[in-house]
A and B are shown apart, each in its own frame.
Chain A
Amino acid sequence: MINDKNSQKIVDIIQNWARKHSIWVLAYGTGCGAIEIPPTMTSRYDAERLGVRGAATPRQADVLLITGYLTTKTLKRVIRVYEQMQDPKYVIGFGSCTINGGMYYDSYNTIKVLDKYLPVDVYINGCMPRPEAVLAGFGKLQQLIAEGKANGAAEYKANLEKYRENQKRVIPNWIMPEYNW
């Protein structure tokens, strides 16, 4: 009875509904985009009414916001943070730098396409995205979670070799711990 397909469906719906309304964002800013987070969180736009709030440590967080350009040095830390996060976990790429390099397209030290290194669920376009755009991005993520389509973490586990290969291409001195989930 418990392993019945339809009862699992109901459990999934309830689970996704609960997850959708408690998106805890890791308080970790890369690049210049982190400056748009305080107005999103505070009283003017008040993201907390949607269940979006800050979390102090990677193990408590659900969403990793990549706010802006990502240097290879920061990428190392971001990968480590992402792998410490517990399921369910989602990544939001924030700003045009994470999409195609943005104004840092010819920089010697910043990556250009984030989804080659980490699985990205939602991209928010703009340089910088205004708090309205950030809220729209969170809305899109909530929609994907409710539909059960935000499967970045599962994809990461399935294609770990491919992601590792790309990551090691920009991080030659690989001294990271291997997590087994």
Chain B
Amino acid sequence: MNDIKAKLTEHIKANFPGAAEKDFKGENRIDFSIDKEFIPSVLTYLKNTAGFIHLSHITCVDWLEEGEFEMIFIIWSPTDKLKVFIRTRIDREKAVMPNIDMIWRQANTYEREFREMFGIQFIGLKGAKDFLLEDWEGPPPMRRDFDTAAYAKDAFFERPGREDALDVREEIIKRSREEIPGFAKKYSR
């Protein structure tokens, strides 16, 4: 297992400039960050020559404070029982990614969802504009700076009676006279 991991790490580092291994002490998993231009080539390499034929997951993390999105591709090799994480960071304002649905066809579904929920553009992506939402006119809803409560208040009717809703945690504390633990304080209103 360690042989395969070391060999693969070495190969990726030699062939893809800027590939940095992330220190992760875990069994059957290696973790790389790489520039977004090399994503299709590294995934093609892993699929065609290294036996990573299964695309497990694609996910996106919104690093609002750093102004970046992090895209993570998780692929799996059934022969080696090994997982590879490929990470890349893209700019939040001009979120453009290379399209990979010619490598795995099922990536198309993920990419359409990212386009709708995060506003990430995939170059040359085919498919209907709407994925889950219909006639959506607001900003992409899964971005962290989208205030969903304010949007809902503006867009939908509200039944009167919820305005005086009390903070459950504080009310229980008042009754039982316990201290709010430090880690819980930031969740109070």
Contact = CB atoms under 8 A, between A and B. Distances in A.
Contacts of B146: 108
Q: Is the interface of A mostly helix, strand, loop or mixed?
A: loop
B134 interface: yes
A72 B134 contact: yes
A113 B157 contact: yes
A68 to B, nearest CB: 16
A173 B130 CA distance: 13
Interface string A99-114: 1110001111111110
Given A106-B149, A108-B141, A112-B152, A100 B159 contact: yes
Q: Is the interface of B mostly helix, strand, loop or mixed?
A: loop
B110 to A, nearest CB: 20
Contact of B134 (A73, A100, A112): A73
B167 interface: no
Interface residues of A, number: 22
A106 B148 contact: yes
B90 to A, nearest CB: 24
A50 interface: no
Interface in B143-164: 146, 148-149, 151-153, 155-159, 161-162
Interface stretch (A54-62, A143-151, A164-172): A164-172
Contact of B135 (A111, A112, A166, A171): A171
B157 A108 contact: no
Contacts of B153: 106
A107 B158 contact: no
A73 B133 contact: yes
B161 A100 contact: yes
User: Considering the complex of A and B, which 3 residue pairs feature the smallest CB-CB distances, nearest first?
Assistant: A106-B149, A100-B159, A173-B135
